[in-house]
């Protein structure tokens, strides 16, 4: 899938729509999810134009890959949830119900999160 520069996270990165920012560095931006699914629900995104984890792991530089994973840990510590625990999750593609086609890692925390995944129907 080609990257669509008009996706909502591209617009956030360009400052065209607002976000509740929690972290920014050379390679990443993190902000609160607009429709939180847990007491803490933050998204960490790369600044580069990557559709999904598939696209990112195929094309991103080592600095971008390290930067994204370091940012996830840093954001969790900054939010004060590293000790109590959190779930980092990314949806890639149709079967995972990816809705926004710019790679994002969800951080869910602040409460017990239950089982990792629903069993297949
Ligand atoms: P996914 O299904 O993994 O693609 O998740 C997309 C996420 O983006 C959802 O949790 C949405 O609530 C979130 N989202 C969509 N638009 C915005 C926005 N403008 N600001 C923050 N989060 C958003």
Please compute the mean of the pLDDT values over residues 9-19 and round it to a whole number. 98
pLDDT of residue 119: 80
Catalytic residue numbers? 104
Pocket of ligand 1 (CB under 6 A): 8, 17, 19, 33-35, 43, 91, 97-100
The answer for residues whose C-beta is within 8 angstroms of residue 81's C-beta and 6 or more apart is 40, 107, 109, 110
pLDDT of residue 90: 98
For 84-117, the pLDDT digits (tens) are 999 999 999 999 999 999 999 999 999 999 988 8
**Ligand 1 center from residue 2 Cα (angstroms):** 19
Sheet with strand 105-109: strands edge to edge: 21-24, 28-32, 40-46, 105-109, 86-89
Neighbours of 102 (CB within 10 A): 25
Closest ligand 1 atom to residue 37 Cα is 10
Dig out the tokens for 42 from the structure: 């933050």
| pLDDT bracket for residue 39 (50, 70, 90) | very high
Nearest C-alpha to atom 15 of ligand 1 is from which residue? 34
Please compute the mean of the pLDDT values over residues 63-75 and round it to a whole number. 98
Q: How far is CA 46 from the centre of its chain?
A: 8
pTM exceeds 0.85 for this model: yes
């Amino acid at each position: 899938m080609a990257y669509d520069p008009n996706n909502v996270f591209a617009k956030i990165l360009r400052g065209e729509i607002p976000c509740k920012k929690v972290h920014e560095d050379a390679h990443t931006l993190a902000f609160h999810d607009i429709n939180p699914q847990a007491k803490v629900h933050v998204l960490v995104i790369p600044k580069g134009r990557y559709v999904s984890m598939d696209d990112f792991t195929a094309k991103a530089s080592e600095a971008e890959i390290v930067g994204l994973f370091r940012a996830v840990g840093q954001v969790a510590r900054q939010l004060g949830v590293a000790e109590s625990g959190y779930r980092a999750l990314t949806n890639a593609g149709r079967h995972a119900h990816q809705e926004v086609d710019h790679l994002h890692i969800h951080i869910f925390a602040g409460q017990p999160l239950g089982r990792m995944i629903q069993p297949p129907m």
